Amino acid sequence: MSFDVVGFVITVKPIFSNPTSKRMDVIIMNKEFDQLSVTLWGNLTEIEGSSLEDLKDAKPVVALLSVIGEFQLST
């Protein structure tokens, strides 16, 4: 199985919500030291986002599959 994105969590931003949706931005760094912004939507903000928030100081490694959208790499 191959993954779309693998990296470690460096920042977990607060949940943003409005009447129609919830989202949480998570910044990860890949093995090339590129920072990638990943947005969690809906129930993922409550479940996985909450877990990432609790573990962020340990810099957990995440592997993401079926990523939708474009990546913007920081330089």
**Domain residue limits, the chain:** 5-64
CA 56/CA 10 separation, integer angstroms: 7
Q: What is the pLDDT of residues 19-65, one digit of tens each?
A: 998 999 999 999 999 998 888 888 888 888 888 888 888 999 988 77
Kindly list the distances between the CA atom of residue 28 and the CA atoms of 18, 21, 65, in Å, as whole numbers in the listed order: 25, 23, 14
pLDDT of residue 73: 41
CA 52/CA 50 separation, integer angstroms: 5
pLDDT of residue 46: 84
Residue 55 CB-half CA count within 13 A: 13
Say what the pTM is.
0.78
pLDDT of residue 41: 87
